[in-house]
Structure 1
Amino acid sequence: MTDLTTDTTGAPPEILTERRGAVQWVIFNRPHARNAMTPWMEDRLIEICRAVDADPTVKALALTGATGDKPAFMAGADLSCLQAVSSPEDFTILETRAEAAAMALESVRVPTVAVLSGACVGEGALLSACCDVRIASPSVRFGFPIARTVGNCLSVKNLARLSAVLGTARTKEMIFSARLLTADELAMAGALRTVVATEEGLVAQGQALAEELAALAPLTLWATREGLRRLRDHGLPPDIDKDLLRRCYLSADYQEGIAAFLEKRRPFWTGH
């Protein structure tokens, strides 16, 4: 059954949930904005993960994006959230909220499947990297063009997430080239279980894969994903990247990047 919970403004729901057998689906539902993430969506995703943890009849969790004029998983964070960053407290809140959503997805009790198409950019790419398995249609475009657009940076933990999925060299190349990876490139990197030939068959393939995972020994899957997460994060001290984030988010380059993006022009970088 689809969840029609609205946000605090009374607008249509930005996230839908649908139960299909033992699989709980999460559908990012802002097709007019290519499903760009909002703070309400981050909080709602955390709530859904907690509800899944409390419901033993849920055996797998699948995530996808609602399709509008073009397919999209998630085209990053909503730009209005990025515009609001003007102080250390602002970027701390932004990073903390996004990290809480990522951690909720990574630590949820059941295996997770990301069903990808179209834009899978920024926070969308990060959330898909938090999932255990990914499938995609040929339309998917995955990455972080931040060196070309807004001039911010990724946290060290998010770099670790991406390196675990893509490898260090490909992660660096993706960010340094400021381009988006195709489905074939993701598959070659081992980041996709499969590329589904058509958009129409994508959700059905996602359901079949989630059911396959749901039938396996749950404790084995949980212990494996949790063990790999601990191995990845072992030795990462707190605030290892505070200086990096502060320098990027509070820079003149970041403000120029946001302005240029809104004005649809090339930014003029100064390194300050």
Structure 2
Amino acid sequence: MTGIEAKVDYEIRETVGWITLNRPQKLNALASDMREQFLAHVKAAGADDTVRSLVVVGAGGGFCAGGDIGHMVELQSNSDEAGFRHLLQIGNEAILALQAFPGLTVAAVNGIAAGAGLSLALACDLRFATPHASFSAPWIKLGLVPDWGASFWLPKLVGVGKALEIVMTGETVSAEVAERIGLITGIIPHEDFQVAVQDRVIRLGAPRQAVAHAKRLIRLGSEDSLEAAMARETESQEECFETGDFKEGLTAFLENRLASFEGK
């Protein structure tokens, strides 16, 4: 598998890092080296204070069709459990790195998101999709189970019953249905998709410190007591109180204008 055939690109557009799964001839199905490239890019973005938000998108007409079936056939034929375990471990590391990114993470789903592609989308904070995008959980049909955190995120987004339906049937979910059941944040017309996503992400993810605290609070708040949640809120709010972004937010509100956050 050459770098030309399967790669993951990374670029910074203003304050937004864009990770592009670039294997369009295979609907961006993940070759093993793509997982490692993705992981490296997420870590690089997290270490760069100028990158306030991170977007994951697919090249061509698909988001990500999941794992490379041909490679999995090869692993299964050779009874290569170690090789299969390595794919899972690298994928898990990538998901954890995505979760650890302090700013806003967004899946820009421009086509099919299946298997690992669905897991990648689920792991992001928000999911925007084109009208023709679709979502699929084909694991059961392959004799496998959801991985890369899909079994964790899916029921949180759509409920246990709907999550079981999606996984057990393996049926494709349209963008329209995905929006209705809460699987995605919203649908954006295809013509100006990336431009519109960029615009929304810049507006939503500018105050990086506040976003990081909010993400942590909401995630932990769904798993803990009210008292513990309020204690964390107080601690985080006090930290945000000291930031330049809070001062700018107040000033902008008093001046009846949009805030110009610097992520500090």
For the criterion TM > 0.5, the same-fold answer is: yes
Which has a greater percent of helix?
A: 2
Distance in 2 (CA, whole Å) between partners of 1:163 and 1:127 is: 15
- Aligned 8 A contact 1:28 1:35 in 2: yes
Q: Could you give the per-residue CA deviations for residues 118-157 of structure 1, whole angstroms, max 9, x where no partner exists? A: 2110001000001011111111110212333x11112494
What is the Cα deviation at residue 63 of structure 1? 1.1
After TM superposition, which residue ranges in structure 1, 4 or more long, deviate above 4 angstroms? 228-234
The yes-or-no answer on 1:162 pairing with 2:154 is yes
Taking the aligned partners of 2:159 and 2:42, their CA distance within structure 1 comes to 27
CA contact (8 A) 1:136 1:195 kept: yes
CA distance in 1, matches of 2:64, 2:158: 19
- TM-score, normalised to structure 2, is 0.77
Letter paired with 1:103: L
Which residue of the other structure, out of 89, 92, 101, is the alignment partner of 1:99? 92
Q: 1:74 is paired with a residue of what secondary structure?
A: coil
Unpaired runs of at least 5, structure 2: 225-264
RMSD: 2.2
TM-score under structure 1 length normalisation: 0.75
Query: In the alignment, is the contact (CA less than 8 A) between 2:119 and 2:148 conserved in 1?
Result: no
CA distance in 2, matches of 1:14, 1:156: 20
2:204 matched residue in structure 1: 213
Structural mapping, 1:181-196, within 5 Å: 181-196=173-188
Between the two structures, name the one with larger relative contact order (CA 8 Å, sep ≥ 6): 1
Name 1:114's counterpart in structure 2.
107
**Number of the residue aligned with 1:72:** 62
Aligned 8 A contact 2:123 2:149 in 1: no
> Corresponding residue for 1:43?
36
Unaligned runs of 5+ in 1: 1-7, 235-272
Identity of aligned residues (%): 25
Identify which range, 13-22 or 109-118, moves more after superposition.
13-22
Aligned residues: 221
Q: Alpha-carbon deviation of 1:97?
A: 1.5
Which one of the candidate residues 31, 34, 55 is aligned to 2:48? 55
